[in-house]
């Protein structure tokens, strides 16, 4: 407990300079005579002095730490985003406080507040349902926030995404063009804007363009889990769907395996296209065709954007859309 810590004051005394000077050399301030700098550096080395980041944070009001709120790191989609975030954070000398929210609103609010109390310099938020309470909390803080892979209907916050509407529309169109008249839309909670307002919109637009009436029975609102996917086959068959546009890879994998287990051949009897292009798409058999998103980059760009915000640099566009694509694998014809 009584660890005798070496402070800046010890260094100052030992090098017979003032704390201010030590602080200057530690922070690479130019206004120090080379000779003094060397002297101080030597003492630092000798005493093995390590600046205390907490004290530094209090004095400078910068913690070089950012908060990252994620639904669940255990989901590859978010894990890959998180990795992108951490890598560029490290690049800019920031660290990340990572917290799992389970997309639970109460937890999100709570964790946001503890992050703010810890004086993080910025926040990256993932999660797509920004309801009243949470939005309020977002609004009252001056700490920069950016959303990663998460939409903001109100267009208030910086964020980086792909064009979900266009991507889904395009792929559903492809499905239709290949002869599928009954394309299911299997998604996570519709309350989440990314599903309910964006992807669903793309789905509807594709139907409309093809002159196919929208049939509510074809949309399946789920919880985005593998398990749920495996149980969906009977329901999908019951509505005569011949293809599905799925919004999550684990969910899609579940559906696909459920189909295979029920002897429904993918893609011959049922086509599946998924949305996140995580590693998983390559690991399952058949490999899943997917909308491609630069997951790592979404995280990386979001973090980069956040550094700009934190340093008061101008940002040209706060709604960043990264390019998407289609990776045709084996779950579509």
Partner DNA sequence: GATTTAAGTGAAAACGTTTTCAATTTGCTG
Partner DNA sequence: CAGCAAATTGAAAACGTTTTCACTTAAATC
Q: Which of 47, 51, 100, 264 binds DNA (CB under 7 A)?
A: 51
Q: How far is the CB of 185 from a second copy (least distance, A)?
A: 22
User: Residue 14 Cβ, how far from a second copy at the closest point, in Å?
Assistant: 20
What is the nearest approach in angstroms of DNA to the Cβ of residue 43?
12
Contacting range for DNA; rule: CB under 7 A; set: 53-61, 66-74, 128-136, 181-189 = 53-61
Closest CA to 198 of 150, 138, 156: 150
51 vs 325 by CB, closer to DNA: 51
Residue (13 or 107) nearer to DNA, CB: 13
How near is the Cβ of 22 to DNA at its closest, in Å? Answer: 7
- Within the chain, what is the greatest distance between any pair of CA atoms? 84
> Which residues, in sequence order, are bridge partners of residue 244?
184, 272
**Interacting residues of 131 by C-beta distance below 8 A, sequence separation 6+:** 105
Total chain residues near DNA (CB under 7 A): 31
Distance CA 95, CA 54 (A): 13
* Separation CA 205–CA 120 (nearest Å): 41
Q: Return the structure tokens found at 298.
A: 């979404």
CA distances from 213 to 185, 217, 264, 313 (A): 14, 12, 26, 48
Q: 109 or 190: whose CB is closer to a second copy?
A: 109
Contact flag: residue 283 with DNA (CB under 7 A):
no
Q: Is the peptide bond before 286 cis (omega within 30 degrees of 0)?
A: yes
List of residues contacting a second copy (CB under 8 A): 1, 3, 50-55, 57-58, 63, 65, 72-74, 76, 79-80, 82-83, 86-87, 90, 95-100, 113-119, 142, 226, 250, 253-254, 257, 260, 279-280, 282-285, 312
- Phi then psi for residue 200, to 5 deg, are -60, -35
Q: Which residues bind DNA (CB under 7 A)?
A: 5, 7-9, 16-21, 23-24, 26-27, 30-36, 49-52, 55-56, 58-61
């Amino acid at each position: 407990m009584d660890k005798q810590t070496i402070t800046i004051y010890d260094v100052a005394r030992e090098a017979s300079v003032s704390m201010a000077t030590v602080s200057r050399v530690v922070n690479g301030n130019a206004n120090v005579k080379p000779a003094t700098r060397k002297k101080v550096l030597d003492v630092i080395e000798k005493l093995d002095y390590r600046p205390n980041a907490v004290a530094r944070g209090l004095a400078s009001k910068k913690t070089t730490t950012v908060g990252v709120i994620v639904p669940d790191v255990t989901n590859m989609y978010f894990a890959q985003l998180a990795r992108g975030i951490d890598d560029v954070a490290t690049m800019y000398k920031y660290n990340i406080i990572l917290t799992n929210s389970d997309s639970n609103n109460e937890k999100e609010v709570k964790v946001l507040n503890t992050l703010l109390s810890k004086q993080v310099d910025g926040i990256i938020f993932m999660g797509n349902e920004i309801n009243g309470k949470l939005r309020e909390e977002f609004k009252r803080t001056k700490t920069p926030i950016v959303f990663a892979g998460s939409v903001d209907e109100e267009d208030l916050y910086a964020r980086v995404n792909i064009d979900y509407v266009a991507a889904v529309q395009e792929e559903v169109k492809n499905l239709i063009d290949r002869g599928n008249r009954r394309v299911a839309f299997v998604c996570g909670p519709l309350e989440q804007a990314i599903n309910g307002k964006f992807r669903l919109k793309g789905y509807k637009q594709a139907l409309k363009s093809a002159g196919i009436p929208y049939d509510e029975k074809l949309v399946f609102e789920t919880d985005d889990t593998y398990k749920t996917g495996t149980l969906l086959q009977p329901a999908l068959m019951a509505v005569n769907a011949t293809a599905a546009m799925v919004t999550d890879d684990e969910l899609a994998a579940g559906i696909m395996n459920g189909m295979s287990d029920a002897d429904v051949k993918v893609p011959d009897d049922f086509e599946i296209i998924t949305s996140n292009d995580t590693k998983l798409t390559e690991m399952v058999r058949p490999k899943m065709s997917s909308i491609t998103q630069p997951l790592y980059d979404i995280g990386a760009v979001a973090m980069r954007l956040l550094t700009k915000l934190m340093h008061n640099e101008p940002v040209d566009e706060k709604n960043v859309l990264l390019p998407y694509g289609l990776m045709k694998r084996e779950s579509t014809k």
